[in-house]
Chains A and B, each alone.
Chain A
Amino acid sequence: MNLPFPDATCVADSVRGQEVTAKAVTAAALARIANGNPVLNCFTSVTTDRALAEAEALDQAIAEGKDPGPLAGVPFAVKDLFDIAGLPTLAGSKINAERPPARQDACAVSRLKAAGAVLVGGLTMDEYAYGFTTENAHYGPTYNPHDLQRVAGGSSGGSGAAVAGGLVPISLGTDTNGSIRVPSSFCGIFGLKPTYGRLSRAGAFPFVASLDHIGPFARSVRDLALVFDLLQGPDPEDPACTDRPPEPCLPQLGRGLDGLRIAVADDYFARSAEPIALEAVATIAHALEATRRITIPEAQRARSAAFVITASEGGTLHLSNLKKRPQDFDPATRDRLLAGAMIPTSWYLQAQRFRRWYRDRVRELFQEVDIVLAPATPCPAPLVGQKTMILDGVEMLVRPNLGLFTQPLSFIGLPIVVVPVQRPGQLPIGVQIIAAPYQEALALRVAAVLEAAGTVSAPVPSIQHP
Chain B
Amino acid sequence: MTNPSPEVTAYVDQAAILMDLSLHPEHRPGVITNFERIQTIAALVNDFPLPDDLEPAPVFEP
Q: Mark A212-250, 1 if CB is under 8 A from B, else 0.
A: 000000000000000000000000000110000000000
A304 at the interface (CB under 8 A from B): yes
User: Is A111 part of the binding interface, using a Cβ–Cβ cutoff of 8 Å?
Assistant: no
CB contact between B46 and one of A322, A327, A347, A357 (< 8 Å): that residue = A347
Inside 8 A of A346's CB, which chain B residues have their CB? 46
Contact B61 A239 (CB under 8 A): yes
Select the residue from B37, B56, B57 with max chain A CB neighbours within 10 A: B56
Query: CB distance B44 to A300 under 8 Å?
Result: yes
Are A342 and B50 in contact, with the CB atoms below 8 A? Answer: no
Of A333-341, A373-381, A427-435, the one contacting chain B is A333-341
Instruction: Write the nearest CB–CB distance from B37 to chain A, whole angstroms.
Output: 8
CA distance A381 to B11 in the complex (A): 37
Q: Within 8 Å of chain B (Cβ to Cβ): is A308?
A: yes
In chain B between 2 and 33, which residues have their CB closer than 8 angstroms to a CB of chain A? 11-12, 15-16, 19-24, 27, 30-33
Instruction: Confirm or deny: A359 has a beta carbon within 8 angstroms of a beta carbon on chain B.
Output: yes
Residue A275 CB within 8 A of the other chain: no
Residues in B whose Cβ lies below 8 Å from that of A338? 21, 23, 27, 30-31, 34
Q: Which of A283-312 contact B (CB under 8 A)?
A: 298, 300-301, 304-305, 307-308, 311
Binding site for A on B (CB under 8 A): 11-12, 15-16, 19-24, 27, 30-35, 37-38, 41-42, 44-46, 48, 50, 54-61
A-B contact pairs, 20 of them (CB 8 A): A197-B59, A301-B44, A311-B38, A319-B19, A335-B34, A338-B21, A338-B23, A339-B37, A340-B34, A341-B21, A342-B19, A347-B45, A349-B56, A350-B48, A352-B56, A352-B57, A353-B50, A356-B54, A356-B55, A357-B50
